[in-house]
Amino acid sequence: MKNIIIFGAPGSGKGTYSDEIVAKYNMGHISTGDVLRAQIKAGTELGKTAQGYIDNGQLLPDELMIDILADAYDKFPAGKGVIFDGFPRTIPQAEALKKMLAERGHDMGMMIELVVEEDVLMARLLNRAKEQGRADDNEETIKKRFAVYHSQTAPLSEWFAKEGIRNTLAWAELGSKEAMLEAIFNTIEKQA
């Protein structure tokens, strides 16, 4: 199975669709946000560092994230397809991912971008705050996360296009979770 990078703004559904992809294709899954939240819960040094950034809606330093990602990737059997969810979020992270995979004789596989309008994202995240109580799902931090997304992460979309692996799926055209999921599965199967 090829690797998959699932890409999109906070609230675009990266985690939800990753779970569905994992269930269908038996892939590995690395959510860097989940890794950091687990470290916070366990009270580790990394968790303490991560907390300040997450609470402020800021990204952790690239070098730290790249190490975390490589460690997580190497826990899967070589060649098992992995979904990267929440990574890369900057161009240096993307370049480091490409290099880390090349060093292992692997490649990035395909990137799937979930495009969702900001009012829909905000409504979803406020709803998630009620259901899951994530500390960074409050209006003030969400706005900061959107700003960080626009300035640091969104430019990566073009970077993936230049790599020739971008697939864009738009919520505005698909309109439901079921339609989105079907489009995701079609995209994966076209390229597998």
Nearer to ligand AMP, 5 or 190 (CB): 5
* CB of 30 closer than 8 Å to CB of 81: no
Q: Which residues pair with 28 in a beta bridge?
A: 82
Shortest distance (Å) from residue 144 CB to ligand AMP: 9
Helix spans in the chain (H)? 14-25, 32-42, 45-55, 62-73, 91-103, 118-132, 139-148, 156-163, 171-174, 177-191
Residues in contact with ligand AMP, total (CB under 6 A)?
Answer: 17
User: Which tokens sit at 164?
Assistant: 């020739």
Q: Contact between 166 and ligand AMP (CB under 6 A)?
A: no
Tell me which of 24, 37, 104, 128 is the catalytic residue: 128
State the first-to-last Cα distance of the chain, in angstroms, to the nearest integer: 7
124 is catalytic: no
- Give the contact letters, 103-142, x = binds to ligand AMP (CB under 6 A), - = no: ---------------------------------x------
Shortest distance (Å) from residue 56 CB to ligand AMP: 8
104 is catalytic: no
How would DSSP label each residue in 159-187?
HHHHHT-EEEEEHHHH-SHHHHHHHHHHH
Q: Contact between 46 and ligand AMP (CB under 6 A)?
A: no
Nearer to ligand AMP, 67 or 182 (CB): 67
Taking the C-alpha atoms of residue 65 and residue 79, their distance in angstroms, rounded to an integer, is: 22
38-46, 51-59, 106-114, 184-192 -> range binding ligand AMP (CB under 6 A): 51-59
Tell me which of 14, 37, 124, 166 is the catalytic residue: 14
* CB of 59 closer than 8 Å to CB of 114: no
Taking CB under 6 A as the criterion, which residues in 74-93 touch ligand AMP? 86-87, 89, 93
89 is catalytic: yes
CA distances from 154 to 102, 118, 151, 160 (A): 24, 13, 7, 11
Which residues of the chain form contacts with ligand AMP (CB under 6 A)?
Answer: 10, 32-33, 36, 53-54, 57-60, 65, 86-87, 89, 93, 136, 145
